[in-house]
Amino acid sequence: MIRCKLIMKMLDQNLKLDVESHIEGCEPTFYRHLVRSLIYLTITPPDLSYPVGILSQFMQTPVYIHLYCAKRVLRYVSGTMDYDILYKSVTPI
């Protein structure tokens, strides 16, 4: 994921994820490890909380669309790593 294509939008708001039994599943241990790492990242940027919460619902039986969305969140994190928030004081101290 070092040389991945960076994105500025995490997930589509209208995306509906569910457990689909007719689609092949992905490696559950890899998915769980990835989502646990993303849960750890939600401490700092608050915009990650919602998509990571959605992805964590599918840790029992993940399918490839869930893995794709988790990788998309990782690409978003890579693309926005150098964003900062600057708070300026209104009155002089």
Spatial separation of the C-alpha atoms in residues 23 and 21, rounded to whole Å: 6
* Integer CA distances (angstroms), 92 to 29, 64, 88, 89, in order: 53, 54, 10, 7
Looking at the chain, the number of H-run helices and the number of E-run strands are: 3, 0
The total domain count for the chain is 1
> Is residue 38 one of the residues assigned to a domain?
yes
Residue 92 lies in a domain: no
Do the domain assignments include residue 20? Answer: no
8 secondary structure, DSSP code: S
Residue 45: inside a domain, yes or no? yes
Predicted confidence at residue 33, as pLDDT, reads 92
> pLDDT confidence of 8, banded at 50, 70, 90?
low
Considering the domain boundaries, does residue 5 fall inside one?
A: no
Q: In this model, does residue 14 exceed pLDDT 70?
A: no
Domain carrying residue 33: 28-79
Read off the pLDDT of residues 24-66 as tens digits, 9 standing for 90 and up.
777 888 989 999 988 888 877 778 888 888 889 888 888 888 8
Q: Is residue 8 part of a domain?
A: no
**CA–CA distances in Å: residue 23 to residues 4, 19, 49, 64:** 25, 9, 27, 8
- 4 within some domain: no
* The residue type at 56: S
Q: Is 61 contained in some domain? A: yes
Output the average pLDDT for the chain.
78
pTM of the prediction? 0.73
